[in-house]
Amino acid sequence: MNNERERLVLRCSVPPLNYGSSIQQLARVGFFRAPVSPSLTGSIRQSVKINEELQRGNERMGLFCDVATEKKRSANQKRGSGTNTKRSGEKRCLECCIKCLGGIPYPSLIATILLYAGVALFCGCGHEALSGTVTILQNYFEVMRSPVDALDVFTMIDIIKYVIYGIASAFFVYGILLMVEGFFTSGAIKDLYGDFKITTCGRCVSAWFIMLTYIFMLAWLGVTAFTSLPVFIYFNIWNICQNATVLEGATLCLDPRQYGIVPIADAKTVCAGSEKFYKMCESNELDMTFHLFICALAGAGAAVIAMIHYLMVLSANWAYVKDACRMQKYEDIKSKEEQELHDIHSTRSKERLNAYT
């Protein structure tokens, strides 16, 4: 197969032969001074016939070479067009990705991620820490749930758990709303979807989100302060356990009445030297509950930082919306003035034309 291709290339590259024409031209110009003999004339005629056959073969070969060259050229064009189409497709995909990435409001995205992380940490760790607190009260302090519907410590813990469920669901929706608001007020979305009209409703929504975020920031500050109370209580219990193991003969007691967990009439004191005291200090429930409350406090602090970040983002968006509104009014006034000037100019032109005619 390779030898045939090489022969074809050689045939297409070698110029066609023409023996008879050269002899005829030599005879015309008088190259042969002596009379041309009949044998020479016959040889010339034979060469002419050979020349005609060679021309026919050259024409066939030239036609074949033209077809092969055309096929090769079309194949190269198809290959080049396929490569160009692939490159243009990759370029369009890259431009689309860059445009989509440019349309993401990254400050709102960072604030949303921080808010979700803080709320998840607070709700998850707080829920498990409250369950551990119930276990410690029942196993080591012998605090039992009231048989009647009274507002005891266990009922308060159940209420706080339901509040945690509500906080998790509410701030999940609120984070989505703030993210959507960031998308619609970002300048990148304006570049993507063209110019849009800044309505009064849009400005009111931005102002409403700023006020609501400020209220939620104050609420999370209160939650952070409230979460620091169990951290302080468990730190005192952990400190008493550490001192009781170091100091021998020291009389250290834990009284839940000091923290308002049980009524004053119920004496549920656990002192150092008792079996329950050492079991509680060596148990995993105390250590795990203490660290879970610390994580819940960190989550509440992260939520506060997210709210402050949201306030900065919303304030910047509000300034953008306000400037866009002013620019829109300026463009409307400018377009009206240009239209009026155009009308005046056209009217004067018509009057001059009528006066001239």
Average pLDDT over residues 95-113: 80
Q: Give the ranges where the chain is alpha helix by DSSP (H).
A: 2-13, 19-28, 38-102, 106-139, 153-184, 187-193, 200-246, 275-282, 284-356
pLDDT at 26 over 50: no
Q: Which of 23-32, 200-209, 249-258 has the lowest mean pLDDT?
A: 23-32
> For residue 19, what pLDDT band results from cuts at 50, 70 and 90?
very low
Angstrom distance (rounded) from CA 140 to CA 282: 12
Position 46 scores a pLDDT of 55
pLDDT tens digits for 300-312? 999 999 999 999 9
Pairing type for strands 253-254 and 270-271 reads: antiparallel
Lowest mean pLDDT among 110-124, 170-184, 199-213, 290-304: 199-213
Cα angle value 99/103/109 (rounded, 5°): 135
Per-residue confidence band for 162, with pLDDT thresholds at 50, 70 and 90: very high
What pLDDT score does 127 carry?
A: 95
Q: Please write the tens of the pLDDT for every residue from 60-98.
A: 544 444 445 555 666 666 565 555 566 666 667 777 777
Q: HSE of 221 in the Cβ direction (CA atoms, 13 Å)?
A: 8
pLDDT of residue 187: 55
**pLDDT over 70 at 1, yes or no:** no
Q: Which has more confidence, 164 or 106?
A: 164
pLDDT number for residue 344:
81
CA distance 199 to 282: 64
**Where would I find the H helices in 185-283?**
187-193, 200-246, 275-282
- What the block records as the tokens of 186 is 């970002």
In angstroms, the CA 182 to CA 313 distance is 8
> How does DSSP assign 20-53, residue by residue?
HHHHHHHHHTT---SPPPHHHHHHHHHHHHHHHH
Which residues have a Cβ under 8 Å from the Cβ of 224 and sit 6 or more positions away?
Answer: 297, 300, 301, 304
- On average, the pLDDT of the chain sits at 75
* Exposed/middle/buried for residue 186 (C-beta within 10 Å: 0-12, 13-18, 19+): buried
pLDDT band, very low/low/confident/very high, at 15 (cuts 50, 70, 90) = very low
CB 114 within 8 A of CB 302: yes
Q: What is the Cα–Cα distance from 203 to 194, expressed in whole angstroms? A: 19
pLDDT (mean) for 322-336:
74
Count Cβ atoms below 10 Å from residue 201 Cβ, excluding itself.
8
CA distance 139 to 134: 9
Per-residue pLDDT, averaged over 311-338, amounts to 78
pLDDT of residue 193: 44
- The percentage of the chain sitting over the pLDDT mark of 70, rounded to a whole number, equals 65
Q: Which residues pair with 254 in a beta bridge?
A: 270
Q: Mean pLDDT throughout 255-271? A: 79
| Cβ–Cβ < 8 Å for 309, 126 | no
pLDDT score of 273: 76
The per-residue pLDDT for 323 is 72
| pLDDT above 60 (res 195) | no
Q: Give the model's confidence band at 332: pLDDT under 50 very low, under 70 low, under 90 confident, else very high.
A: confident
Q: What residues are paired with 271 via a beta bridge? A: 253
Decide if pLDDT at 12 tops 50.
no
What lies within 8 Å, CB to CB, of 130 at 6+ separation is: 157, 160, 161
pLDDT given at position 165: 94
